């Protein structure tokens, strides 16, 4: 099971490494949903085209930040307990934990941040 999960995770990361950030099409919510087939972000998909609209959409559904959204929708995990595929936040961006490093979207491709430096971590299920 772990091998299959890792295989899917790395295939997903590899297959999407050259995509350009485009709000509402390929952004942090869509990136995370590609691994976590949950309801997180469903109310966002396709409802905005610009960063400003993304934050306006958050406010429309009752949240002031992406962190407040995740705090309500997901299970909070301490940084030292994060594992591969967990959801992480760093500087108001969602990403995916890959162990020592976490992966975030940038304008074209990925940015890597040491997992112990992320602002907060989450898990979709127990």
CA distance 77 to 44: 24
Q: If we measure between CA atoms, which residue out of 69, 33, 94 comes closest to residue 103?
A: 94
Is the model's pLDDT at 16 over the cut of 90?
yes
Region 41-63: mean pLDDT is 81
When comparing pLDDT for 73 and 122, which is higher?
122
Number of CB atoms found within 10 A of residue 85's CB = 18
Q: What are phi and psi of 98, to 5 degrees?
A: -130, 40
Share of the chain above pLDDT 70, in %: 87
Q: In what order do the strands lie in the sheet with 101-105?
A: 75-77, 120-123, 87-90, 93-98, 101-105, 110-114
pLDDT at 1: 42
pLDDT at 103: 98
CA distance 103 to 113: 7
Summary mean pLDDT of the chain: 87
């Amino acid at each position: 099971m772990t091998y299959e999960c890792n295989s899917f995770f790395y295939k997903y990361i590899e297959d999407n490494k050259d995509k350009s950030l485009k709000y509402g099409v390929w952004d942090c919510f869509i990136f995370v949903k590609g691994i976590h087939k949950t309801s997180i972000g469903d109310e966002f998909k396709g409802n905005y085209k610009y960063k400003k609209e993304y934050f306006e959409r958050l406010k429309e559904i009752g949240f002031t930040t992406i962190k407040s959204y995740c705090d309500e929708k997901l299970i909070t995990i301490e940084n030292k307990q994060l594992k591969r595929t967990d959801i992480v936040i760093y500087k108001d961006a969602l990403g995916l934990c890959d162990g020592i490093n976490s992966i975030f979207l940038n304008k074209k491709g990925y940015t890597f941040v040491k997992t112990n430096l992320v602002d907060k971590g989450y898990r979709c299920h127990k």
